[in-house]
Chain A
């Protein structure tokens, strides 16, 4: 039920209406009175008149009306930004809203600031839901010991050999081969969602039980729909839009993907001596030592992950919270990106990450809601425990992830900044530090490597079951 409150702020003189628009979402209706708008426009104009240097006039001597005529739209845009920003901040402060992320509004770009007219706008914000935090002290958790066995080292070398392997072009595909081509995803009414040249698809193996992925969407009967198309042939894949896709238009709709195969490739794993040479090592033993060291580091990460999962489970089980039935695009995107970076941090290879992310999109509502709930709880815990993130920590995490992905740290850093996802790393570190701070207060019991395996298996099964 919508709940409305109205209040006038004397100091900034704005009128704010707050309306519930679903669990953890609020709609703010803000009105800035005409006199405030006029005063801001006059202020902006006066500032500009004092600063501007027009041809034929000394600095600050140009007539106001001339400056207004020349820079009117810029002044109004600037005043609009300042008014909206100030009014929004004031509204948040006055209504004591704990806002998460950026506000969204469809109308802000369209509104115009005019002298003598009030400025009204609506924004929707995601807010921290109200809930009672469970106690963060003395949580019972198990810390598994780990050891790097020869079997794990050989398995890892096998993966490296595949990564370092060569592509062999084939005329006919077989299970496990990669098909490259043009993929066009359309909706039931013919709306084109994606048109990707260079779309890569893997022909499912027997152990995949026919499941496969195309353009980030998991298809259960992918194997039978895809068949074994040769270069030049086209196939049509029918799929259901994942319920938690970042693109809301895609959710739950019948999708058709037209895929035209241009080439078929098979990965021929590199020989171990070649891998040794490519890594600039002297012997296979040296490679094994390097892999062992990497696995040791990964083991520590896994150990932390297992403990973090136990903390997360405890927090989830002991917190009552009202959550939205359906995730918004922003929430879905955040949950997916959060999951993606967690997997990257854990050293999961790129292909596996994409597969798991695609599965995550098709996962049940429970899992998506649990992720959202955990995000809110940890956000609150981070505030309570005053957890901050330094730039060195961000750089360190990027370097670690780059090493796991076989990339250069600067390259990954640049990519994250350009794609606007550097914030995800900050969020991830904040989450890890918060949970680590809770672990520091927890009652930790060390368990054997076997127990570690058991816990990891349980965790994987739990993840699988929720997916």
Chain B
């Protein structure tokens, strides 16, 4: 799925856990397009931030079932990716 990097990388995930991983291990977490492959993500991060990605780990969260007054709906599937950068490299997320 080779497409524009800005469509692959939706936004950085900023939580306590992700910022700890970022500060302590240089691992950055992003919410990505659910159809993006690890290679797509690697290329997208490299082109967007000008860094070298060493490893990509992805996980997909199933959408939760929500009860609304007119029945049940399933939230969208979320895919997030944690990337490890080459030694000495970093991304300014905030």
Residues of A within 8 A of B (CB): 54, 56-58, 61, 63, 65-66, 69
Q: List residues of chain B with CB within 8 A of the CB of A54.
A: 14
Q: In the docked arrangement, what's the CA distance between A65 and B22, Å?
A: 14
Contacts of B94 in A (CB 8 A): 63, 65-66, 69
Please judge, given known A-B contacts A66-B94, A69-B94, whether A61 and B14 are in contact too, CB under 8 Å. Answer: no
Number of A-B contacts (CB under 8 A): 18
Q: How far in angstroms is the closest Cβ of chain B from A74?
A: 16
Report if B19 contacts A (CB, 8 A). Answer: yes
18 contacts between A and B (CB under 8 A): A54-B14, A56-B13, A56-B14, A56-B15, A56-B16, A56-B18, A57-B14, A57-B15, A57-B16, A58-B16, A61-B16, A63-B19, A63-B94, A65-B94, A66-B14, A66-B19, A66-B94, A69-B94
- Complex alpha-carbon distance, A57 and B15, angstroms: 6
Interface size on B, residues (CB 8 A): 7
Chain B 1-34, CB-CB to A under 8 Å as 1, else 0, gives 0000000000001111011000000000000000
Q: Say how far A50's CB is from chain B's closest CB, in angstroms.
A: 15
A63 to B24, CA, bound (A): 13
Q: Which residues of A contact B13 (CB under 8 A)?
A: 56
Interface of B (DSSP majority class): loop
Residues of chain B contacted by A65 (CB below 8 angstroms)? 94
By beta carbon, the residue of chain A nearest B19 is A63
In whole angstroms, how far apart are the Cα atoms of A276 and B30 in the complex?
82
Least distance between B85 CB and chain A CB atoms (Å): 18
- Measured between alpha carbons, how far is A237 from B75 in the docked complex, in Å? 71
A69→B13 CA distance, assembly (Å): 15
1/0 contact string of B51-86 vs chain A (CB within 8 Å): 000000000000000000000000000000000000
CB-CB under 8 A from A61, the residues of chain B are 16
A69: chain B residues within 8 A (beta carbon) = 94
- Give the distance in Å from the alpha carbon of A366 to the alpha carbon of B18 in the complex: 74
B13 nearest in chain A by CB position: A56
| Distance of A60 Cα from B73 Cα, bound (Å) | 34
In the complex, besides A56-B14, A57-B16, A63-B94, 4 extra interface pairs with C-beta distance below 8 angstroms are A54-B14, A57-B14, A61-B16, A66-B14
Question: Once the chains are docked, how many angstroms separate the CA of A54 from the CA of B15?
Answer: 9
| B17 and chain A: residue at smallest CB distance | A56
Shortest distance from the beta carbon of A190 to any chain B beta carbon, whole Å: 52
A370 to B28, CA, bound (A): 73
Counting from the closest, the 10 A-B pairs by CB-CB distance are A56-B15, A66-B94, A69-B94, A57-B16, A61-B16, A65-B94, A63-B19, A56-B14, A66-B14, A58-B16
* A66 vs B94: C-alpha distance when bound (angstroms): 6
Interface centre among A56, A61, A69 (most CB of B within 10 A): A56
A69 vs B14: C-alpha distance in the bound complex, in angstroms?
13
A57, A63, A69: residue with the most chain B Cβ atoms closer than 10 Å: A63
- CB contacts (< 8 Å) of B16 on chain A: these are 56-58, 61
Q: Give A277 to B33 CA distance when docked, in angstroms.
A: 81
In the bound complex, what is the Cα–Cα distance between A56 and B16 (angstroms)?
Answer: 6
Report A326 CB to chain B, min CB distance, Å: 54
Return B79 CB to nearest CB of chain A, in Å.
17
| B33 CB → nearest A CB, Å | 20
Tell me the minimal C-beta distance from B15 to chain A in angstroms. 3
CA distance A205 to B14 in the complex (A): 78
Complex contacts, B14 vs chain A, CB 8 Å: 54, 56-57, 66
- Residues of chain A within 8 A (CB-CB) of B18 are 56
Give min CB distance, B20 to chain A, whole Å.
10
Task: Give the Cβ gap from A167 to chain B, nearest Cβ, in Å.
Answer: 58
Query: Given the complex of chains A and B, what is the CA–CA distance between A57 and B94 in angstroms?
Result: 15
* Chain B residues positioned under 8 Å from A58 (CB to CB): 16
Cα-based distance from A56 to B18 in the complex (angstroms): 9
Roughly how many angstroms separate A54 CA and B19 CA in the complex, as a whole number?
A: 13
Q: How far apart sit A56 and B19, CA to CA, in the bound complex (Å)?
A: 10
Query: Contacts of B15 on A, CB cut-off 8 Å?
Result: 56-57
CB-CB under 8 A from A56, the residues of chain B are 13-16, 18
A69 to B16, CA, bound (A): 16
The interface residues of chain A lying within 8 Å CB-to-CB of B19 are 63, 66
- Bound together, the chains give a CA A63 to CA B17 distance in angstroms of 12
Distance A61 CA – B23 CA, assembled complex (angstroms): 14
Give the complex CA separation of A31 and B18 in angstroms: 42
- What chain B residues lie within 8 Å of A63 (beta carbons)? 19, 94
What distance in Å separates the Cβ of B24 from its nearest Cβ neighbour in chain A? 13
Shortest Cβ gap from A73 to chain B (Å) = 15
**B13 CB to closest chain A CB, in angstroms?**
8
| Chain B neighbourhood of A57, CB < 8 A | 14-16
A66 contact set on B, CB distance < 8 A: 14, 19, 94
Complex alpha-carbon distance, A336 and B40, angstroms: 74
Q: CA separation between A91 and B15, bound complex, in Å?
A: 45
